[in-house]
Structure 1
Amino acid sequence: MGNDGKTFFGHPWALATLFGTEMWERFSWYGLRAILATFMVASPAHQGLGLSQETAQAVVGIYGALIYLVALPGGWIADRILGARRSVFWGGFVIMCGHISMAVPVPSPAYVWLGLLLIVLGTGLLKPNISVMVGKLYPEDDDARRDAGFSLFYLGINLGAFFAPIVVGSLAAGDRWHLGFGAAAVGMAFGLLQYTIGGRVSLRGVGDRPEVPLHPHELRRVGLTAAGVAVAVAIALGSWAATGTFTLGRFTAVMTAVIIAVPIAYFGYIMLGAHDLSEDERSRMKAYIWLFAAASIFWMIYDLAPSKLLFFAENNTDLSLFGIPIHAATTQSFNPLFIMIFVPVFAALWVKLGDRVSTAQKFGFALVMVGLSFVVMAMAANLAESGRVSVWWLVLVYLVQVFGELALSPVGLSVTTKLAPRAFKGQMLGVWFIAVSVGDAVGGQTGRLGDVMSEPAYYLVLAAMAIVAGLGLFAFNRKLRAMMAEHHAPPAMPPVR
């Protein structure tokens, strides 16, 4: 499939369409993420929502958690109702509407909450299915070219993530928050335009139809169920609000509990249900649960970048690099920059090390790295008690964290598919993202620790949790490797974010 024989770096031209679409979608996502928390804590006099830092951190955590959680129903909708191609289009359209809603310059926060809801729903449709479409561009037995194609695709992700905070942060400076939100909307509009025009020829036949379409009576039943759930949630929230006890902080705590319950219920269903699991499958699942918990701890710390670390950049650092003034949002570009630099290095390293380094050891290394990054943050916070510190502290923090991400994120999906019982192979692909969801939600709640401890102590507590968990994986590496029947390391791939 192609466009008059044209190729994109030797790959089908359709990859260029999907590359650009995802790059602009990530531009809109990371652009919003780079200013959302600071917008929420800005006072109404400065066109913000006037929330406390703790509440804003919790809201950003739940927002990120839901983004990854709704990827599961988003994939199901594509498989059974819309097909991947239409799911990506409508997902992008809903995302754009969400950013437009947030860009409306009115005092009421209703448009903000509506916008965030739309972005969550739209991303759930777009994010998992555009990756599926990339995979469909290649024959099933062409693993090498598919891996290379995904590497190019992930480059688009990180390009969008790198430029978005710089552009959106600059536009939003001086309390022009809604201009920044508008830029995110324009970015998604560019992505939709490219997807529509470029896909007319190059994407023909790729994800046009659902894999296993629902029968009309099944579709009606699903529609009625979805409507019933929506009504029940609306009634529950309305009743809660009517009692006068509803607050954003309590709402995020309830949502965090619900999100944590999802994997507990799912793993309980697999391990305790009558699924005729073999002893090997049961052993591998026990090992996977430990890896899942470790990954959740990693993301709990790593995804504090758009909240806790952003506040630190805004309030405690001298925002200047090489003598050039920068905005706090620009610090969110450090992470994707380091990913683009070090992905080839780590990919070559894992190939060279081969099966000498197990999955548990890679996860353990990742946890130690993310823990050490918060030891650095504790040192910076301690110095910041006497005045602003250099922004290079944050540069170091993000560098160390990226070393951890490149050890954990690339193998996450691979080890998930490897350890999943045969009866749950398809479903388990989405479980890895639930680990991100749990980590984001819990990380958002850690802001409450600020009420009982100092800033340096906060970072040290989280650092200790990660380092102890990482050392635990090293200590039990041999046992975990035996439980997983691991004889070779999963293939190294760039991280999917």
Structure 2
Amino acid sequence: MENKDILRLDQDFFGHPKPLQGLFLTELWERFSYYGIRPLLILYMTAMISQGGLGLDRANAAAIVGLFAGCIYLFTLVGGWLSDHWLGQERAVWYGSIIIALGHLSIALTAWGSSVFFYLGLVFLVIGSGLFKTCISVIVGTLYQAQDQRRDAGFSIFYMGINLGAFFAPLITGALLKNYGWHIGFGIGGVGMLVSLLIFRGLAMPQVARLRADFPLPQPAANSKQIRSIKRGVMLATLALITAIWSVYQGWVIIQPIAIIEYFALFIVAVVMSYFAYLFLFKGLNRTEKYRLILCFILFVAATLFWAVFEQQPTSLNLFAQDYTNRSIGSFEIPTVWFQSINAIFIIIFSPIAAWVWMTLARRQREPSYLAKFSLALVFAALGFAIMILAAQQVLNHGGLVSPFWLISCLLMMTFGELCLSPVGLSAMTKLAPKGLGGQMMGIWFTASAVGNLVAGWIGGHVSGNQLNQLPPLFSKCVMILLIGAVILALLRKPMLRLMQQQTEQG
């Protein structure tokens, strides 16, 4: 492609390729659907049956939320593999969108049927999101060449679209929940997913198709025989899933969420480590690709630590807002769910600033490395939890409700950390992934969120009247682990940069 054509494309969407526009809007509405129901889950499950809820205890409800979110991110690994070997990125996003919409429909049917529709809807959301999340991020990455300095800024813009959806969704669902009940609050998420589906089909896919001749998207690597084997595997997995759901529904198998969540995280970590070892030893990667793979693994570990703290927003921080935060402004009581919009509005405010900072530093050849940015993210997360230690201690010492500024300050620190890690991590995985493994490496990236959500779900069950005294020491351990992780990343930065530079020069 000639330089003049590249310049023309760069002027189409805030100095970025035009397909970023359709992908931005698609992700915005998909995230609206997700964040529209996510904060309601633990509140709905712990509400008394007489209040329209499921009447579960907090520990089990928090564990289910952790399992749900964790499985979403874990399934991105499967979604990435299917897209790389069978579906392709665009079809994976399209089918994922349809399955997510079915999940919202199933949850909405809970109002007229048994709770099985609620859990079935969660399963659909897991499968659909696993296909959707990995592949739409990979498509964004393919809009930029490997050395394009706008890559991190482009992902920051894309990330702002995510947070526009995350900002408006809790505000709308919170208001609907207060005035009309649980199921209208859940239903608005389904509307958002339908909008996302239509935007992707009518706007994003045509924009990407027009660019395909000049910037080809990765295509499935399997031949027809392999694809037939994959289809058979998918059919068998579907039958196994149906059998498992039916067994639970009939009471033949008893699910214990707390017991599952305590071991599932360790299992996932073991699987990911084995997967990295397989790629490193048996995939035929050259030395440069192996060093990049090592860097991907280090970023995975750091991201896992970060998300274990950050993803406590829908569980422990959500319950802290409900039980121990003063939400009254005169005669008006702020809905608990509205606190879930605080992080998103901070992202909207500071995301353009972060994009400008990274681009400015890049032009001056002073942009921090991926490890430096991740180290800074862990420090910010530690500061956020240090604030929550003080807030919990104030409740224990003085009783009553605390100012909402404790939560707001905590979320501000975690937002700064998120901006140093999440969009940067998306960019890093698309850039560092070995050829033909883009979807799978993006799945690995989201698997870090899976482990983080599982840990966050386990911690969330400790926020109750008779267990509040456990929070300060528990949060203190989180702060110490985050700071240790930040120090290790800082120490690894120079050795990894030196190795990467050496291999690039030799290559």
TM-score for both structures, normalised by structure 2: 0.82
8 Å Cα contact 1:370-1:463 kept in structure 2: no
Q: Distance in 2 between matches of 1:7 and 1:401?
A: 32
Cα–Cα, structure 1 residues 206 and 45, in superposed 2: closer, same or farther, change >3 Å? Answer: farther
Q: 2:265 aligns with which of 244, 250, 256?
A: 256
Other structure's SS at 2:56 match: coil
Cα–Cα, structure 1 residues 388 and 433, in superposed 2: closer, same or farther, change >3 Å? Answer: same
Residue-pair matches, total: 483
1:25 corresponds to 2:38: no
Q: Distance in 2 between matches of 1:473 and 1:201?
A: 43
Q: 1:437 aligns with which of 406, 429, 450?
A: 450
Structure 1 unaligned segments of length 5 or more: list them. Answer: 489-497
Residue 450 of structure 1 and its aligned partner are, at CA, apart by 6.3
Cα–Cα, structure 1 residues 268 and 450, in superposed 2: closer, same or farther, change >3 Å? Answer: farther
Matches within 5 A, 1:478-497: 478-485=491-498
Deviations 1:30-54 (A, max 9, x none): 1111211111111111111111111
Other structure's SS at 2:373 match: helix
1:464 aligns to what? 477
Cα–Cα, structure 1 residues 187 and 452, in superposed 2: closer, same or farther, change >3 Å? Answer: closer
1:265 aligns to what? 274
2:321 aligns to what? 313
1:220 aligns to what? 228
1:78 aligns to what? 83
Cα–Cα, structure 1 residues 175 and 316, in superposed 2: closer, same or farther, change >3 Å? Answer: farther
Please identify, of 416-425 and 335-344, the stretch whose mean Cα deviation from structure 2 is larger. Answer: 416-425
Task: Name the amino acid aligned to 2:490.
Answer: N
Matches within 5 A, 1:127-206: 127-136=133-142, 138=143, 140=145, 143=148, 149-173=154-178, 176-198=181-203, 201-205=206-210
Q: Distance in 2 between matches of 1:282 and 1:16?
A: 34
1:380 aligns to what? 391
1:397 corresponds to 2:402: no
Residue 160 of structure 1 and its aligned partner are, at CA, apart by 0.7
Task: Name the amino acid aligned to 1:372.
Answer: L
Task: Name the amino acid aligned to 2:46.
Answer: V
Matches within 5 A, 1:101-140: 101-104=106-109, 105-106=111-112, 108-136=114-142, 138=143, 140=145
Identity percentage over the alignment?
37
8 Å Cα contact 1:366-1:470 kept in structure 2: no
Structure 2 unaligned segments of length 5 or more: list them. Answer: 502-507
Q: Distance in 2 between matches of 1:217 and 1:321?
A: 65
Q: Distance in 1 between matches of 2:154 and 2:357?
A: 20
Residue 18 of structure 1 and its aligned partner are, at CA, apart by 2.5
Please give the root-mean-square deviation of Cα atoms over the aligned residues, in Å: 3.7
Q: Distance in 1 between matches of 2:198 and 2:173?
A: 20
Please identify, of 249-258 and 34-43, the stretch whose mean Cα deviation from structure 2 is larger. Answer: 249-258
8 Å Cα contact 1:284-1:485 kept in structure 2: no
Higher relative contact order (CA 8 A, sep 6+): 2
TM-score for both structures, normalised by structure 1: 0.83
Deviations 1:200-258 (A, max 9, x none): 75454567997136444322211222333444556667778866654333344454343
Cα–Cα, structure 1 residues 123 and 276, in superposed 2: closer, same or farther, change >3 Å? Answer: closer
Q: Distance in 1 between matches of 2:290 and 2:12?
A: 45
Cα–Cα, structure 1 residues 196 and 406, in superposed 2: closer, same or farther, change >3 Å? Answer: closer
Matches within 5 A, 1:87-106: 87-104=92-109, 105-106=111-112
Residue 426 of structure 1 and its aligned partner are, at CA, apart by 6.5
Cα–Cα, structure 1 residues 248 and 127, in superposed 2: closer, same or farther, change >3 Å? Answer: same
